[in-house]
């Protein structure tokens, strides 16, 4: 599996899109840090961007890489290699290369700016961690969708739709549900609903570090008690791990049943 990962990874390092992605983060972060004024402000702006962009790019990369590497896949399928290893290897290759783009693109400017000597280091770490999780989650979902759809256009459309759903539509429905049932106690519902959307969950994890005052003061004791504690933090991170594991498991499930 690691050999496949290695080859997928090196294959991707030849793709200029990966560099464009990394360079975009780099330039953005540099300009936010040096022109926008200050660490915490840069972290907030980056959060807004990473929460949207990391899932989107991971989705597109996942789907595109799957369809573009079919030749490679077919070559591998005739070799004495486990099927699940082929697809996990490719998936991890995509996810890792995205993760490294993000890490370098966002991380380097912060290191140059002196994040290690700042109190914001934890907020920043959380931002990066969440960005990495989102890359892994959405490239897994994308791979799963691509595996299930041999038709490129259909697969691509579906993957983008899934991204759109989690990035925007889900929250719209969420808000609608909240305002329709505002006469009922909704805190547990609100927690539950955020767990089911990795983007929401990631956002809340960062917000609890950043806008903690506003969030906690208002939503009530349940959310504060759940999300604000170490246990809640551990739970949320655990759910994010599940969000990686589930589509990855789906990749395996489809992979061993699929004809090539």
Partner 1 sequence: MITIEKLQKSFGKLEVLKGISLEFQRPGITAILGPNGSGKTTLIKSILGMALPDKGRICFQGEDIKGGWAYRRQIDYLPQIARFPENLAVKELLRMIQDLRGGQPDAERLIRLFALEGYLDKRLGTLSGGTRQKVNLVLSLMYDSPLLILDEPTSGLDPLAMLHLKELLRQEKERGKYILITTHIMSFVEEVADEVVFLLEGHIHFQGSLRELKEKYAASSLERAIASILQEGKLAFSSNGHGEKAAKLVLGG
Partner 2 sequence: MRKTILFATLLLTSLAAQAATVTVCPGCECSSIGQAIASANAGDEILIQSGLYQEGNIIVDKALHLRGEGWPVVDGENNNEIFTVVANGVTIEGLLIRNVGTSYLKDRAGIRLKRVRDFSIRNNRLENTFFGIYLEHCSDGVVADNRVEGKAEEEMSSGNAIHLWYCKRIVAEKNQVRGHRDGIYLEFVDDSRIRYNLSEHNLRYGLHFMFSNDDDYFQNTFRRNGAGVAVMFSRNINMWENRFEYNWGRAAYGLLLKEIYDAEIRDNVFLENTIGIYVEGSTRIQYQRNEFNRNGWAIKMSGGCLDNTVTANNFLDNTFDLSLNSAPNNNSFDGNYWSDYNGYDLGRDGVGDVPYQPVKLFNYVVNRTPEAMVLLRSLFVDLLNFSEKVSPVLTPANVADNAPLMQKLNFQS
The contact set with partner 2 (CB under 8 A) reads: 40-41, 44, 47-48, 51-52, 167-169, 171-172, 174-175, 178-179, 182, 186-187, 189-191, 193-194, 199-200, 203-204, 207, 211-221, 223-224
CB 227 within 8 A of CB 191: yes
> Which of partner 1, partner 2, none has residue 246 at its interface (CB below 5 to 8 Å by kind)?
none
Q: Print burial letters for 38-70: b (CB count within 10 Å at least 16), e (below 16).
A: ebeebbbbbbebbbebbbbbbbbbbbbbbbebe
From the list 117, 213, 217, 259, which residue makes contact with partner 1 (rule: CB under 8 A)? 259
Using CB under 8 A, count the residues that bind partner 1.
24
> Which of partner 1, partner 2, none has residue 3 at its interface (CB below 5 to 8 Å by kind)?
partner 1
> How far, CA to CA in Å, does 241 sit from each of 1, 38, 135, 201, 202?
20, 31, 12, 12, 11
Total residues found in the chain within this entry: 260
CA distance 159 to 137: 12
Question: How far apart are CB 231 and partner 2 at their closest, in Å?
Answer: 18
> Which of partner 1, partner 2, none has residue 154 at its interface (CB below 5 to 8 Å by kind)?
none
> Which of partner 1, partner 2, none has residue 202 at its interface (CB below 5 to 8 Å by kind)?
none
Nearest of 105, 127, 116 to residue 22 by alpha carbon? 105
> Which of partner 1, partner 2, none has residue 237 at its interface (CB below 5 to 8 Å by kind)?
none
Contact flags string 23-62 toward partner 1, x per CB under 8 A: ----------------------------------------
Measured from the CB atom, the residue of 1 and 210 that comes closer to partner 1 is 1
* Exposure of 244 in the CB half-sphere (CA atoms within 13 A): 18
> Burial, 237: exposed, middle or buried (Cβ in 10 Å; 0-12, 13-18, 19+)?
middle
> Which of partner 1, partner 2, none has residue 47 at its interface (CB below 5 to 8 Å by kind)?
partner 2
CB 87 within 8 A of CB 15: no
Contact flags string 66-85 toward partner 1, x per CB under 8 A: ---xxxx-xxxxxxxxxx--
> How far, CA to CA in Å, does 230 sit from each of 129, 225, 233, 234, 238?
16, 10, 5, 6, 12
Angle at 98 between CA 86 and CA 102, to 5 degrees: 160
Question: How far apart are CB 85 and partner 1 at their closest, in Å?
Answer: 9
What does the CA dihedral 192, 243, 249, 84 come to, rounded to 10 degrees?
A: 180
> Which of partner 1, partner 2, none has residue 71 at its interface (CB below 5 to 8 Å by kind)?
partner 1
Question: How far apart are CB 219 and partner 1 at their closest, in Å?
Answer: 50
Question: How far apart are CB 109 and partner 1 at their closest, in Å?
Answer: 30
Per CB under 8 A, residues contacting partner 1 are 3-4, 7, 11, 14, 69-72, 74-83, 256-260
């Amino acid at each position: 599996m690691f050999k496949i990962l290695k080859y997928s990874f090196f294959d991707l390092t030849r793709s200029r899109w990966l560099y464009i992605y990394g360079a975009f983060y780099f330039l953005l972060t540099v300009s936010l840090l040096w022109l926008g004024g200050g660490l915490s402000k840069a972290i907030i702006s980056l959060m807004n961007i990473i929460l949207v962009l990391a899932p989107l790019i991971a989705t597109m990369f996942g789907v595109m890489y799957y369809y573009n590497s079919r030749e490679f896949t077919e070559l591998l399928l005739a070799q004495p290699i486990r099927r699940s290893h082929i697809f996990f290897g490719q998936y991890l290759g995509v996810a890792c290369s995205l993760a490294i783009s993000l890490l370098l693109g966002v991380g380097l400017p912060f290191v140059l700016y002196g994040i290690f000597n700042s109190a914001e280091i934890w907020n920043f770490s959380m931002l990066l961690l969440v960005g990495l999780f989102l890359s892994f989650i959405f490239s897994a979902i994308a791979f799963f969708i691509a595996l299930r759809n041999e038709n490129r256009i259909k697969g691509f459309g579906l993957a983008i739709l899934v991204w759109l759903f989690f990035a925007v539509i889900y929250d719209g429905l969420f808000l609608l549900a909240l305002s329709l049932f505002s006469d009922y106690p909704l805190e547990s519902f609100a927690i539950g609903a955020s767990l089911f959307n990795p983007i929401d969950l990631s956002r809340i994890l960062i917000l609890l570090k950043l806008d903690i005052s506003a969030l906690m003061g208002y939503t009530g004791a349940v959310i504060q008690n759940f999300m604000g504690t170490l246990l809640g933090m551990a739970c949320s991170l655990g759910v994010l791990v599940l969000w990686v594991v589930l589509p990855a498991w789906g990749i395996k499930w489809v992979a061993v049943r699929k004809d090539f």
